[in-house]
Each structure stands twice: as C-alpha cells, then as structure tokens.
Amino acid sequence: MNTMKTFILLAGMTGLFMAVGYLIGGTGGMAIAFVVAAGMNVFSYWNSDKMVLSAYRAVEVDPLHRDPVIAEYAADTLAMAAKAGMPAPKVYVIDNPQPNAFATGRDPHNAAVAATTGLLTMLTRQEVAGVMAHELAHVKNRDTLTMTVTATLAGAIGMLANFAMFFGGDRERPNPVALIATMFLAPMAASIVQMAISRSREYEADKLGAEIAGDPRWLASALAKIQHGGKAVMNEDAERNPATAHMFIINPLAGGLRDNLFSTHPATENRIAQLEELAARDLPGNALDLPEGPVRRGPWG
C-alpha cells in the first residue's frame, strides 16, 4: 500500500511539473519540466533518504563507538531490530540539542534510524530504546519510503515555485501565471504532505514499537519528555526544511503559521494514553533487559 502511494505521489509531481511548465513556457516548457520531473523521480526514489540524512548532518555510528552512551544506543537499536526479525538498519546520530528521532529508507533492507544528541542527553536508556523501537516500527511497516519521498517532493514543489519566479517573466513585467503559481505552490506542498501522511501511522508505530521494545511505558515516558523538551529547544535545521517535519517522532517545528501547515502528528497526550492502556493490560511484555536509569549524559550534556 505504501509503495503504491509513493508511485502515485511521483506521478502526481510529474503532472504538476508539466502543467506549470506548460503555463510558463508552452509545449517547450512542458517538455523541459517532464525531463526535470523524471530525473527527480528517479533520484528521489533512490536517494531521498541520503538527502534527508545529509540535511541534518547525521553521522553513522555503531556499538563500537568510543562514547559509551552512543555505543549503548546503537547496540540497543540493533538488538531490537534482531528481536523483531528485521534487517539491521544503519544507525545515525544528529548533533542537535532538540530531543527527537526519525527513520528513513526505501525498504527494511535499506533503512536508517537517527536520534539527536538532545534525545540521548535527556532520556534514560530505556526511554531511548522505546523511541528507537517506534522508529523501527516505521521501518517494519514500510512507512519510511512514503515519508521520505514525500519530504523530497514537497521540497521540490518549493523549488518549482522559484522556477516559476525566475522564468515566468522579467522584473518589470512578471508573468501573472508565474506569480499565481508561486502563491499557491507552498500551501500545495503542505497539502501533499497532509494527504500522503496519515496521522494513524504514528499510533500504529507506537503500538508496534511497544511490542518491539517490550514495555509501552518506556515510549510513553519518552514522549512526555520529548514533547516538553521539543517546545523549549528550536531545531533550526527542521525550520529550514519544514517538509521533513512529519518524519520525526514529535513535530520538531516551533509552531508558527507556516509550520502548522506541515503539522502531521496526532496529539502527544492521546499517544501516551494509548501506550498507558497497553501497559495496563500488561501488553506486550518480553522487554529488553535494560537498566531503568538514570539519565545518561554524554560529553555534549
């Protein structure tokens, strides 16, 4: 289902590029737009995950990392992936004070998960495991292809708006079609993110993540801390790339008008309530054997 949704998005972007190309430059503009869109489709399918990781300057790590906190984070993530019967993902760290995390990749065999240094600083080892189990659930549910490609395409539509401004006329007599296109393309990009990314996917990933980690309380506690910490710390990289906001476990944006257009997360309180209900039913059990706490501060903390 997610793969089909991705191909529909790619086809829709191609049609949009061609329509704007035709309005700006006639059949010649449409032909150029088709070539650009086709190349971008191929590139985004194979490289959108690398683009997102690069945008956040993510660094790959492993259980042999010299910092013990990062080494534990990588080891626990890989252990949970093995427990869930999944291929081992690549594990990344992002040097960012905001507590957050995301998953990316076109399929479980080409997946990556990333956590910020803020997350590793603020949470206990169990809570970090709960968060990363949630991200592994996105990988297992094959949400990551749609989430990552959607982010790339929404950014591409912003680029199309700039294309319309540059090639839609001169400064003294701008093409009114180009101006109208520019006015509507950014909200359209937000709408595509809203339509492509269902909020229910977060509830589903929370539930499966609780099963992978083995204790719903770990993620419930982590979400409460991330929600509070995320509001207190600005994520400048996310503000520059608002179309990637849906990829994070909690919305990384500050909440301005433009940011709200890209909001695709359900209320954190509702997610915590679902996890507490699972815990009350003693589900799912079989938790990883991890120490309860305290908060483990790395050299950045």
Closest by CA position to 137, among listed 166, 90, 98, 103 = 103
DSSP letter string over 48-94?
HHHHHHHHTT-EEE-TT-SSHHHHHHHHHHHHHHHHTT-PPPEEEEE
Q: Determine phi and psi for 134, rounding to 5 degrees.
A: -60, -45
The reply to whether 277 belongs to the active site is no
Among the options 60, 72, 127, 135, which is catalytic? 135
Which residues pair with residue 115 across a beta bridge?
93, 101
Closest by CA position to 104, among listed 155, 45, 61, 144 = 144
Which residue type is seen at 72?
Answer: E
Closest by CA position to 113, among listed 121, 126, 104, 123 = 104
Q: Which residues are known catalytic residues?
A: 135
